[in-house]
A and B are shown apart, each in its own frame.
Chain A
Amino acid sequence: MTARTRLVKELKELSRSPSDDISLQPDESNIHKWKAIIKGPDGTPYQGGIFRLEIRVPDQYPLVPPAVQYHTKIFHPNVHFKTGEICLDILKNAWSPAWTLQSTCQAIVALMSDAAPDSPLNCDAGNLLRAGDVRGYNSLARMYTAEHALPK
């Protein structure tokens, strides 16, 4: 089984049952490069935002996880503010081949509404939440969402 066959299967599955919140598309020339667009979940400071993700699928996929990065700037404890790198266990050692690109994106959406401030990549965001300053965190995250992620 190669990554390609599995990705083709995933693509078919996607066209059969598309999701409202997540749109996933491979690069036209390279099936190992994907782009995803996810919606900021309601009830979070990211609400209304449209976030672009870049996904690189290694040759050994699905035995090893894909590399996913935010392309849109986001203020979130587990996302690197500059590079968009994501700190999420299933993208590292808790990966299982049973995850798909779509379920991975779902997990990232879930991360947006449920941050883990104790393992922060963005220390400013993490510290605000750890100090209990939810209001400060919300307003900053909202500001960056408005600045970078709102559809123009």
Chain B
Amino acid sequence: MDASDNDDFSNDVQSDDDLGYYTESEEGKQDQGVSEAIWYVIDANEISAVQEKALQDVMGIMGCSRSIARTLLMHFRWSTETLFGVLAERDKDELYKLASVTSRSTEIPSCSGSQAEVACGCCFCDVPREETSDMGCGHVFCNDCWSQHCKVQIKDGRSRKLPCMGVKCGAACDEETVRQLISDDQEILARFDRSLLESYVEDNAMVRWCPSVPHCGRAIRVEGEVHCEPECSCGLRFCFACGEEAHSPCTCEMWKQWKEKCHDDSETKNWMTANTKPCPKCGKPVEKNGGCNLVMCTCRQAFCWLCGAATGTSHTWTEISGHSCGRYKDEADRRIDEAQRNVKRYMHYYTRWEAHMKSSKAEAETRTSTQEKIAALEDNTSLLKDYSWLSQAQEQLFHARRVLGYSYVYAFYMFGNAMFREEITPDQNAINQNLFEDQQQQLEAEVERLSGLVEMGPERIGKVEDQLRLQVINSTININKRLVNLYELIENDLLGSLQFSVGYIAPYGGKSTLRPDRATPTLTTPALPASKAQDEDLVDLTGLPSSEPALGRFQGREGLRSGDAAKRPRRSGSLD
């Protein structure tokens, strides 16, 4: 490396810092344009605290018991906003009725007056009044029957809104009373409490269990937009909207169909249509293994390959005696062509999807080796050196690989003829596809480049470190930018232009979004998802000893969006 390079290098370090790519201070910076999805990780032991807060809110405002607050919140899927919204419109009694709550304030139905003994309507025994209970709705039964009833209901998984025993009552039992009644059975009691606790996650539209297997015990709470891909503290990143693995930029619907497609044998069927014909006698699919058009099934039935009709066995290379089907060509052939084309198309996207998913797995494995590399490098030198750029690159690479993979799934559905046929004209579709594939290719090229860069061994990295560092940093930033552009293209131009069908994708979240340690249940404003480099303009790194100056500049998002697809240069501006 010569002196001028070094100069450039030091300058670039400066501007690199301006990027804020690594600096934590930049984290709270909001990027405009992309709708914000804010999420928190709730640790297993925090769930009760979070739930308690919601309960306290409702208890405070409604002045009701914890049990009633819980029943109300379960009914409104733990949305205090909705609950209070309804309260503003209707009165309290109506609200209670809606959520099948009966408060003690409603009159108690006459139940064998004030005698010392009460006839229990369940066991038909006369029991002293003090050994009976009611659940707030006035239906009195003996404690023994209540206790057994509660246990049966809890065992059947009806701990939440445990119903009263009264005929056609359906009111939810008071949870404190239930607890007392079942206090002799610790197992049932634990089950009851756990079920109530988990209601906060399971009945809540804005909270979801982390789908990790084995389950890490955490839940994720989302505010605002549910189409997002939170990352649990256990490292699993998933789609909040559908609970599946993170699959942006393809939509939940696309992902669902793709998974089904990959699992079922619809492509096998397509292949059969394209390459076999059913025997006219036994119906088995027959594949032609060469020779003339007279085909013989294993059942010894001869038939004509062209039209599929049964024939005699005498034939020449050109014709079957007494059989002619010259008119077959048109229709049947078209059908076969179509089937063959579909298989080819599917295979095209499938192989690419699979390749990237495999690479992504490999990247995940090299993460560890990267850490080792970094450790080795840091041991080698007495100077204090920061190699976070290397691990950042590794992270970015892992993420970008996945996105690339899913982008093929997206393309399969977006530009195929099925999903949006009604809405997108073939011409428009071709333009869209061009636009998309341009971006996809750019991203792909950059990903491969970075992949090559970070795969070097530690000795080599040590030698060319200064040079490599810049290349890696730039490549990382470039990938990020290209990812942002790809997401924007999909979100705004491709899916956004649809009138009738709706497709939502999780917005691009950069690498990792919220730090889990910030996910406190308190409602402090969280750090916004930090797609840190997202809106930063890239530094001009011309003069960099890089082999590809294109790294330096990048087409802005405006340029991409307004640009006419046909006129748009295939590579970023500075190359031209």
Indicate whether B124 reaches chain A with its CB closer than 8 angstroms.
yes
Given A60-B152, A63-B152, A97-B122, the answer on whether A1 and B144 have CB atoms closer than 8 Å is yes
Q: Is the CB of A97 within 8 A of B168?
A: no
B132 to chain A, nearest CB (A): 14
Contact mask for chain A residues 93-104; partner B; CB cutoff 8 A; 1 contact, 0 none: 010111100000
* CB nearest to A98 among chain B residues: B121
* CB nearest to B153 among chain A residues: A63
A91 to chain B, nearest CB (A): 13
Indicate whether B554 reaches chain A with its CB closer than 8 angstroms.
no
The listed residue (B122, B144, B148, B152) touching A98 by CB distance below 8 A is B122
Indicate whether A5 reaches chain B with its CB closer than 8 angstroms.
yes
Contact mask for chain B residues 134-154; partner A; CB cutoff 8 A; 1 contact, 0 none: 000000010011001100100
Given A1-B144, A1-B145, A97-B149, the answer on whether A62 and B168 have CB atoms closer than 8 Å is no
* Residues in chain A near residue B145, CB distance under 8 A: 1, 63, 97
Indicate whether B125 reaches chain A with its CB closer than 8 angstroms.
yes
Q: Is the CB of A6 within 8 A of B167?
A: no
Given A96-B169, A99-B167, the answer on whether A63 and B148 have CB atoms closer than 8 Å is yes
Q: For the complex, give the distance between the alpha carbons of A6 and B125 in Å.
A: 9
* Residues in chain B near residue A94, CB distance under 8 A: 168, 170
Among A56-80, those with CB < 8 Å from B are 60, 62-64
Q: For the complex, give the distance between the alpha carbons of A64 and B125 in Å.
A: 18
Q: Is the CB of B123 within 8 A of A98?
A: no
Q: Is the CB of A1 within 8 A of B165?
A: no
Contact mask for chain B residues 478-517; partner A; CB cutoff 8 A; 1 contact, 0 none: 0000000000000000000000000000000000000000
* Residues in chain B near residue A10, CB distance under 8 A: 124
Among B376-430, those with CB < 8 Å from A are none
Indicate whether A16 reaches chain B with its CB closer than 8 angstroms.
no
Contact mask for chain A residues 80-119; partner B; CB cutoff 8 A; 1 contact, 0 none: 0000000000000010111100000000000000000000
Q: For the complex, give the distance between the alpha carbons of A1 and B141 in Å.
A: 13
Among A6-51, those with CB < 8 Å from B are 6, 9-10, 13
* Residues in chain B near residue A1, CB distance under 8 A: 122-123, 125, 144-145, 148
Q: How many residues of A contact B (CB 8 A)?
A: 15
Q: For the complex, give the distance between the alpha carbons of A63 and B149 in Å.
A: 6
* Residues in chain B near residue A9, CB distance under 8 A: 123-124
Indicate whether B166 reaches chain A with its CB closer than 8 angstroms.
yes
A104 to chain B, nearest CB (A): 11
A88 to chain B, nearest CB (A): 13
Q: Is the CB of A96 within 8 A of B165?
A: yes
* CB nearest to A9 among chain B residues: B124
* CB nearest to A13 among chain B residues: B124
The listed residue (A5, A13, A97) touching B165 by CB distance below 8 A is A97
B554 to chain A, nearest CB (A): 61
The listed residue (B121, B124, B144, B152) touching A64 by CB distance below 8 A is B152
* Residues in chain B near residue A13, CB distance under 8 A: 124
A3 to chain B, nearest CB (A): 10
Q: For the complex, give the distance between the alpha carbons of A1 and B165 in Å.
A: 15
The listed residue (B123, B124, B125, B168) touching A96 by CB distance below 8 A is B168
* Residues in chain B near residue A99, CB distance under 8 A: 167
Q: For the complex, give the distance between the alpha carbons of A6 and B166 in Å.
A: 17
B450 to chain A, nearest CB (A): 59
Q: For the complex, give the distance between the alpha carbons of A13 and B121 in Å.
A: 13
A14 to chain B, nearest CB (A): 12
* CB nearest to A96 among chain B residues: B167
* Residues in chain A near residue B141, CB distance under 8 A: 97
* CB nearest to B124 among chain A residues: A9
Q: For the complex, give the distance between the alpha carbons of A94 and B166 in Å.
A: 10
Q: For the complex, give the distance between the alpha carbons of A13 and B119 in Å.
A: 14
* CB nearest to B123 among chain A residues: A1
Q: Is the CB of A62 within 8 A of B152?
A: no
Taking each of A1, A60, A62, A98, which has the highest tally of chain B beta carbons within 10 Å of its own beta carbon?
Answer: A98
Q: Is the CB of B123 within 8 A of A5?
A: yes
Q: For the complex, give the distance between the alpha carbons of A96 and B164 in Å.
A: 8
B171 to chain A, nearest CB (A): 12
Q: Is the CB of A98 within 8 A of B165?
A: yes
B178 to chain A, nearest CB (A): 14
B67 to chain A, nearest CB (A): 21
* CB nearest to A100 among chain B residues: B124
A100 to chain B, nearest CB (A): 8
* Residues in chain B near residue A63, CB distance under 8 A: 122, 145, 148-149, 152
* Residues in chain B near residue A97, CB distance under 8 A: 121-122, 141, 145, 149, 165
Q: For the complex, give the distance between the alpha carbons of A84 and B144 in Å.
A: 35
Q: For the complex, give the distance between the alpha carbons of A99 and B148 in Å.
A: 16
A80 to chain B, nearest CB (A): 24
* Residues in chain B near residue A96, CB distance under 8 A: 165-169
Q: For the complex, give the distance between the alpha carbons of A6 and B148 in Å.
A: 14
A51 to chain B, nearest CB (A): 24
* CB nearest to B149 among chain A residues: A63
Q: For the complex, give the distance between the alpha carbons of A94 and B144 in Å.
A: 21
Q: For the complex, give the distance between the alpha carbons of A106 and B170 in Å.
A: 21
B126 to chain A, nearest CB (A): 11
* Residues in chain B near residue A6, CB distance under 8 A: 122-124
* Residues in chain A near residue B167, CB distance under 8 A: 96, 98-99
* Residues in chain A near residue B144, CB distance under 8 A: 1
The listed residue (B122, B169, B170) touching A62 by CB distance below 8 A is B122
B147 to chain A, nearest CB (A): 10
* Residues in chain B near residue A98, CB distance under 8 A: 121-122, 165-167
Taking each of A5, A64, A96, which has the highest tally of chain B beta carbons within 10 Å of its own beta carbon?
Answer: A96
B123 to chain A, nearest CB (A): 4
Q: For the complex, give the distance between the alpha carbons of A69 and B121 in Å.
A: 25
Q: For the complex, give the distance between the alpha carbons of A64 and B153 in Å.
A: 9
Among B160-202, those with CB < 8 Å from A are 165-170
5 closest A-B pairs (Cβ-Cβ)? A97-B122, A1-B123, A98-B121, A96-B167, A63-B152
- What are 19 A-to-B residue pairs whose CB atoms are below 8 Å? A6-B124, A9-B123, A10-B124, A60-B148, A60-B152, A62-B123, A63-B149, A63-B152, A94-B170, A96-B166, A96-B168, A96-B169, A97-B121, A97-B145, A97-B149, A98-B121, A98-B165, A98-B167, A99-B167
Beyond A9-B124, A96-B168, A97-B149, 14 additional contacts (C-beta under 8 Å) are: A1-B122, A1-B125, A6-B122, A6-B124, A13-B124, A62-B122, A62-B123, A63-B122, A63-B152, A64-B152, A94-B168, A96-B165, A96-B169, A98-B165
